[in-house]
Each structure stands twice: as structure tokens, then as C-alpha cells.
Amino acid sequence: MMRNHPLLEGVGLPARLGATGNAGPLVTRGGLVLLGGGAPYLYAFDKATGAEIWRGATPFPTSANPMSYRASSGRQFVVIATGGGADAALVAFARAR
């Protein structure tokens, strides 16, 4: 349905667009677009080019918008909810130091 939207006419979309649902992306000041898309991964795309630059495996399919926070130590984290019911986990990622 998204590929045929009139506002996207002529736009080259990537082959993988994620799953239908309400979960959305997180766009960072540094130019990353973080998205789960219903797959068992958190993806990071370059905002300027759309290129996938990283993916982190999650124990269950992602089921929410990613969020970011900075700990009192100054370290930045990205967290996303995965799965549902008994098969659910909150997964956090941090950039290696």
C-alpha cells in the first residue's frame, strides 16, 4: 500500500519496509533513523542516504517505537520493546566505547 501512495511517486524505496502497525522510527540529531519494523532486529539507517548501517538482533520481533536516553554516566542507550505477553523483553543497545 505504501509503495503506491501518490506522495511517494518517483521515490526509490528500499526493498524492506518493515511490517504494518503503529510502531514508528526514532530520528537522532546525528542523522540516524532507528526502526524495528516488526522484525527481530533494531535497524539503523543513514538519514541522508537511506542506507542500512547497522542492525542488532532482538530476542523477539520488535513491537514498539525505539527510544533513547542518556545515563548519568553520559552513555547513550537505545531501547526497544520486543515480543508480547510471556514472550516479551525490553532490549537496550549502547555504542561500544
Reported pTM: 0.74
Residues 19 and 33: their CA atoms lie apart, in Å, by 16
Helix (H, G, I), strand (E, B) or coil at 30: coil
Domain locations in the chain? Answer: 21-94
Give me the pLDDT at residue 18, please: 59
Given a contact cutoff of 8 angstroms between Cβ atoms, the answer to whether 88 and 80 are in contact is no
Percent of the chain with pLDDT over 70: 91
Residues 61 and 41: their CA atoms lie apart, in Å, by 7
Question: What are the pLDDT digits (tens) for 56-93?
Answer: 999 999 989 999 999 999 999 999 999 988 899 999 99
CATH topology of domain 21-94: Thrombin, subunit H (2.40.10)
Question: What are the pLDDT digits (tens) for 64-74?
Answer: 999 999 999 99
Residues 74 and 69: their CA atoms lie apart, in Å, by 9
